[in-house]
């Protein structure tokens, strides 16, 4: 990359960030699109977030990505939030528009693009069970609710969080929380099952959020985990004859949509996917 006095900063803030593949992927995007920018990963401790945002504003960053633990905490330090970020209640992408910092959330739309591209599923009138009620569950469930699914069941270890999420979905579609013991019954009548918990993520690849007995051949099983690519849940689902969808596509498209927000150009997704697949 040719860094000159015209090169502008872009980056990722989170804590930790050393695991991130975004610098490699986003610097390649800038090279392909001919954007004079350099993307770095910045470890920002929670107590330093406000100062970090002030610094990025002062240094005229093009924009930045936001990851754990700052996705919610950053919102008061931004000038504007788009409607999706407001609905989801979290920000993963910030655009600096003429000095004004605008927060977006591209996780939900990234998930939806990936799901539709990889499975061609029609979501109209479908019944969905979501396992988990954290940040990713919120982004995915709100997006699915707005995409026309008929009904959403939320099952989570902490049931209070599932209840709160289900309540907030009711303005878009039918939604209710279920206990983990009720999950088998609702999965039996579901078309789509989405694991948004971290159960099964590397290095705990022998774990699965539900028993394989809960799965059936008519189900599309989607797991947000991308490391490993084939979680134990997805392997069991395949053995059961179910269609499967892994988390790498969501990772790709949430970044691709961020690129579109920053540069107003389509992202080079094939090259981005190649980098993620090499690293996964």
Determine if 132 is a binding residue for ligand NAP (CB under 6 A): yes
Give the number of residues in contact with ligand NAP, rule: CB under 6 A.
23
Indicate the residue among 96 and 133 with the shorter CB distance to ligand NAP. Answer: 133
Residue found by looking up tokens 């019944």 in the block:
127
In the window 140-179, what residues touch ligand NAP (CB under 6 A)?
156-158, 161
Determine if 97 is a binding residue for ligand NAP (CB under 6 A): no
3-state secondary structure the chain: CCCCCCCEEEEEEECCCCCCCHHHHHHHHHHHHCCCEEEEEEECCHHHHHHHHHHHHHCCCCEEEECCCCCCCCHHHCCEECHHHHHHCCCCEEEEECCEEEEECCHHHHHHHHHHHHHCCCCCCCEEEEECCCHHHHHHHHHHHHCCCCEEEEECCCHHHHHHHHHHHCCCCEEEEECCCCHHHHHHCCCEEEECCCCCCCCCCCCCCCCHHHCCCCCEEEECCCCCCCCHHHHHHHHCCCEEECCHHHHHHHHHHHHHHHHCCCCCHHHHHHHHHHHC
Determine if 134 is a binding residue for ligand NAP (CB under 6 A): yes
Among 141, 254, 258, 267, binds ligand NAP (CB under 6 A): 254
List the structure tokens of 21: 């593949």
- Nearest distance from residue 188's CB to ligand NAP, in Å? 21
Per-residue contact string for residues 200-219; x = within reach of ligand NAP by CB under 6 A:
-x------------------
Determine if 77 is a binding residue for ligand NAP (CB under 6 A): no
Q: Does residue 71 have an active-site annotation?
A: yes
Determine if 66 is a binding residue for ligand NAP (CB under 6 A): no
Determine if 197 is a binding residue for ligand NAP (CB under 6 A): yes
- Nearest distance from residue 4's CB to ligand NAP, in Å? 33
Window of 1-9, 21-29, 38-46, 127-135 that interacts with ligand NAP by CB under 6 A? 127-135
C-alpha–C-alpha distance, residues 42 and 65, integer Å: 10
Window of 8-16, 43-51, 214-222, 244-252 that interacts with ligand NAP by CB under 6 A? 244-252
β-pair partners for 13: 42, 66
Indicate the residue among 156 and 190 with the shorter CB distance to ligand NAP. Answer: 156
Determine if 133 is a binding residue for ligand NAP (CB under 6 A): yes
Nearest-CB residue to ligand NAP?
134
C-alpha–C-alpha distance, residues 89 and 130, integer Å: 18
Determine if 196 is a binding residue for ligand NAP (CB under 6 A): yes
Active-site annotation holder among 45, 71, 86, 278: 71
> What are the catalytic residues?
71
* Binding-site ranges for ligand NAP (CB under 6 A): 107, 132-137, 156-158, 161, 196-199, 201, 224-226, 247, 250-251, 254
């Amino acid at each position: 990359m040719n860094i000159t006095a015209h090169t502008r900063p872009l980056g990722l803030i989170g804590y930790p960030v050393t695991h991130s593949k975004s610098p490699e992927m986003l610097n390649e995007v800038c090279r392909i699109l001919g954007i004079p920018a350099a993307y770095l990963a910045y470890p920002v401790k929670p107590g330093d977030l406000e100062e970090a945002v002030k610094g990025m504003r002062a240094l005229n960053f093009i924009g930045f990505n936001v990851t754990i633990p700052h996705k919610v905490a950053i919102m008061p330090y931004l000038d504007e939030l788009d409607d999706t970020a407001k609905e989801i209640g979290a920000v993963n992408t910030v655009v600096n528009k003429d000095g004004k910092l605008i927060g977006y959330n591209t996780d939900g739309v990234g998930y939806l693009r990936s799901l539709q591209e990889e499975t061609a599923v029609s979501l109209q009138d479908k019944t969905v069970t979501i396992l988990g009620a954290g940040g990713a569950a919120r982004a995915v469930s709100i997006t699915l609710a707005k995409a026309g699914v008929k009904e959403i069941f939320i099952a989570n270890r902490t049931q209070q969080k599932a209840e709160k999420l289900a309540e907030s979905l009711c303005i878009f579609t039918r939604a209710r929380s279920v206990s983990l013991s009720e999950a088998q019954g609702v999965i039996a009548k579901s078309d789509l099952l989405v694991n948004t918990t971290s159960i099964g993520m590397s290095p705990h690849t022998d774990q699965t959020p539900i028993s394989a007995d809960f799965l059936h051949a008519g189900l599309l099983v989607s797991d947000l985990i991308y490391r490993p690519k084939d979680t134990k849940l997805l392997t069991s689902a395949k053995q059961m004859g179910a269609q499967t969808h892994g988390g790498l596509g969501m990772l790709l498209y949430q970044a691709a949509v961020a690129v579109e927000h920053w540069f107003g150009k389509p992202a080079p997704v094939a090259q981005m996917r190649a980098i993620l697949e090499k690293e996964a």
